[in-house]
Amino acid sequence: MNLGDMMKFSDFICFDAVIPDLGSSDRDSVISKLVSALDEAGKLGEGNCKKITKAVIDREMEASTGMGKGIAVPHVKHKAVKDVIGTVGLCGVGIDFSALDKQPVYSVILLISPVDFPDRHLQAMEKIFTHIQQEKFRKFLRQCQNAEQIEDLLKEADEDPSL
Amino acid sequence: MDTPVCETEVEIKNADGLHMRPAMQFVDIANRFDCSITVSSGETTVDGRSIMEMSMLAATVGTKLKIKAEGDDAEQLIEALRELVEEKMFGEPPPKK
């Protein structure tokens, strides 16, 4: 793999919108909080927050993005964004995401992708899955206590593909 | 007796590439067979039965994937996956001209 070409977390994660404690075990309210955080950070344009929240939940109803091992990657394509934008939320109590392995989710990576550039979405997914399939990364992510630690971990992962 | 091995190369033809839903369809079929299966894109080789690993491939439209199956029904599995990727195109449209 040519790692030099891989997208970085810092290319698409909005660090101002990460939520270290989602404080809810309800999937829809967790999604709503993360979309609102991106909206408050000014990433979604005027008046799109509710529509995008609904679109992410609708997508989730089609097939769960709970990929197993405590991670979910809810996502949707939406015309409100011109490039991939994402954020991260953590939850100590465990969220019911109807995950593939039927286990609760503790780390949520939300992704909103543009309609016209499917390749950008795939590149962001590649970056996310390269790391979340590694136990070390999943553990470090889940242990983050605040937004700074999440930002530090993701930036470290940008420098160290083996994390 | 040696375990049967079957290999092929397929090309991603749907516009959106191998995003999560197509990857899930692929993994679903792979898990229905009693075979081990690897999928390679360039220098990256992953387990075709793992959704996490398949999502790592970032296979865009036009990407060629090498699929290698090992097991008694390897040939049937390869045919089913070739049909899914190239003929059914995961039930998705090709790129607009």
Structure confidence by residue, pLDDT tens digits, B51-75 = 999 999 999 999 999 999 999 999 9
Spatial distance between the Cα atoms of B11 and B9, rounded to a whole number of angstroms? 7
Which ipTM was obtained for this model? 0.90
Interface of A with B in 9-38 (CB under 8 A): none
Give the per-residue pLDDT at B71. Answer: 96
Q: What is the mean pLDDT of chain A?
A: 95
Q: Which residues contact A45 (CB under 8 A, 6 or more apart)?
A: A80, A81
Tokens representing A31?
């999604």
Beta carbons of A119 and B17 less than 8 Å apart: yes
Of A95, A124, A122, give the one whose Cα is nearest residue A32.
A95
Residue A4 pLDDT > 70? no
- CA geometry: angle A43, A53, A150, nearest 5 deg: 55
For residue range A130-141, list pLDDT tens digits in order: 999 999 999 999
Q: How far apart are CA B73 and CA A130, in angstroms?
A: 30
Q: Measured on CA atoms in the order A127, A28, A106, A40, is the torsion positive or negative?
A: positive
Residue B2 has pLDDT above 90, yes or no: no
pLDDT tens for each residue of B10-27:
999 999 999 999 999 999
**What pLDDT score does B97 carry?**
74
CB pairs < 8 Å spanning A and B:
56
- Summary mean pLDDT of chain B: 96
Assess contact for B19 and B88: CB atoms under 8 A: no
Predicted confidence at residue A6, as pLDDT, reads 87
Q: Which of A1, A65, A68 sits opposite B43 (nearest CB)?
A: A1
Give catalytic status of residue B6 as yes or no: no
A155 — pLDDT class (breaks 50, 70, 90):
very high
pLDDT above 90 (res B1) = no
| Amino acid identity at A142 | R
How many beta carbons lie within 10 A of that of residue B15, not counting itself? 15
Chain B: closest CA distance from residue A64 (Å): 10
Query: What residues contact A87, with CB distance under 8 A and at least 6 apart?
Result: A13, A14, A17, A18, A19, A34, A37, A38, A109, A110
**pLDDT tens track for A78-100:** 999 999 999 999 999 999 999 99
CA distance B45 to chain A (A): 9
**Does the distance separating the beta carbons of A63 and B21 come in below 8 Å?**
yes
pLDDT at A73: 98
Predicted structure pTM score: 0.94
Q: Please classify residue B45 by burial: count the beta carbons closer than 10 Å to its beta carbon, then call 0-12 exposed, 13-18 middle and 19+ buried.
A: middle
Q: State residue A55 phi and psi, 5-degree precision.
A: -65, -40
Chain A hits for B50, CB-CB cut-off 8 Å, are: 133
pLDDT of residue A1: 43
A69 contact B CB<8A: yes
* B28's tokens: 């679903």
